[in-house]
């Protein structure tokens, strides 16, 4: 391999014109996962790629472990710019290297040799296709699917997802303008970046992929998932035991969906979506009794999202005390009010 990570072996004539792909991997205090990801990439059957590792201000000495790897282009950030900021540094580097496609790949993703080839083949079949993604399975159980496709309903401002390949295929056929992909292993055509720019750094982490897909849709690009391309990845989900989810995740999911909806017209739908989302968050808060850190994170996310405040999570950030008392202590009251029921009988619950 050469210093950029591409094979130096003679390629067949039909492969000589294959597009240049820059793979961007973001590392933050997790060199072991990144090294495992790089090791898996060595088996890829796609011949024309470069690998860019962006160390995002790691404090555990991660960056030093990549210095001797000749097959990567290492970029080091002095501070943690978040997922969005760190990835954008990698995208900028990829464009500077002349990449035709940029493949955003999470450091904890497990790739298979044929994945990149399948993604590029689909993208090359139709120049209108701007974003392409594999589907995702449990890395410890390849038969257990984690994510196939998402949808963002523009009427209800709601996001949904499926782990079923046949459902994903139907959604792509019936609702092509609502398809949402994850940023976990997202292949981006260069023209998309030139048209709509990079990830919105205001999100910092989470939901930025939904935003990017919506922006790509608005610019006229097609978005496609490839069921034949499978990547292993375990996802964190803010469900189940609220105490088992870190507060920052509660905060980002809550705040960033509100930031997303603020970007989308018209105002009537924004109000309806906000009311629906508030109902969701209040239901979540009602299940969080005994987990004050989770409640504080959700309320801080609501407060910042409504005000349009982006950036990193700060554990000491709190919503105003009145909001914490009214929503945090009496979620059942407000749920009843939203549902059009008498709320006063619920104050004691």
pLDDT at res. 276:
65
pLDDT at res. 21:
99
pLDDT at res. 6:
47
CA angle, 57 then 107 then 43, to 5°: 135
End-to-end Cα spacing for the chain: 65
pLDDT at res. 334:
47
What is the rounded distance in angstroms from the CA atom of residue 27 to the CA atom of residue 35? 10
Mean pLDDT per 10-residue segment, the chain (349 residues):
43 63 98 96 97 97 93 96 98 98 98 98 98 96 92 75 94 95 98 99 97 97 97 72 80 91 71 66 69 84 91 90 68 51 49
pLDDT at res. 10:
41
Domains of the chain: 13-232 (3.90.550.60), 242-346 (no CATH)
pLDDT at res. 349:
47
The pTM is what?
A: 0.86
């Amino acid at each position: 391999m050469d210093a950029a990570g591409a094979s130096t072996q003679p390629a067949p004539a039909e492969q000589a014109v294959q597009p240049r792909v820059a793979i961007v991997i973001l590392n933050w205090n997790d060199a072991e996962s990144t090294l495992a990801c790089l090791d898996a990439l060595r088996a890829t059957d796609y011949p024309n790629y470069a690998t860019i590792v962006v160390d995002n201000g790691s404090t555990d000495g991660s960056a030093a472990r990549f210095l001797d790897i000749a097959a990567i282009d290492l970029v080091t950030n002095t501070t943690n710019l978040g997922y969005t900021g760190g990835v954008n540094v990698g995208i900028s580097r990829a464009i500077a290297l002349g990449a035709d496609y940029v493949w955003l790949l999470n450091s904890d993703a497990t790739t298979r040799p044929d994945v990149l080839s399948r993604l590029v083949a689909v993208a090359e079949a139709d120049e209108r296709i701007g974003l392409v993604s594999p589907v995702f399975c449990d890395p410890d159980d390849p038969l257990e699917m984690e994510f196939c496709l998402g949808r963002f309903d523009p009427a209800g401002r709601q996001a949904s997802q499926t782990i079923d390949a046949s459902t994903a295929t139907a959604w792509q056929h019936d609702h092509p303008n609502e398809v949402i992909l994850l940023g976990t292993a997202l292949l981006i055509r260069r023209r998309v970046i030139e048209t709509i720019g990079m990830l919105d750094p205001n999100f910092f982490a989470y939901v930025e992929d939904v935003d990017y897909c919506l922006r790509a849709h608005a610019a006229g690009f097609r978005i496609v998932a490839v069921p034949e391309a499978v990547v292993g990845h375990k996802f964190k989900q803010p469900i189940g035991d609220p105490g088992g989810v870190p507060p920052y995740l509660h905060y980002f999911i809550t705040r960033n969906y509100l930031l997303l909806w603020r970007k989308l017209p018209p105002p009537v739908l924004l109000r309806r979506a906000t009311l629906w989302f508030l109902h969701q968050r209040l239901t979540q808060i009602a299940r969080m009794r005994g987990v004050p850190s989770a409640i504080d994170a959700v309320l801080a996310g609501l407060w910042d999202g409504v005000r349009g405040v982006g950036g990193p999570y700060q554990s000491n950030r709190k919503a105003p005390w009145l909001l914490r008392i009214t929503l945090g202590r009496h979620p059942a009251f407000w749920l009843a009010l939203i549902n059009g029921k008498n709320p006063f009988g619920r104050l004691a619950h």
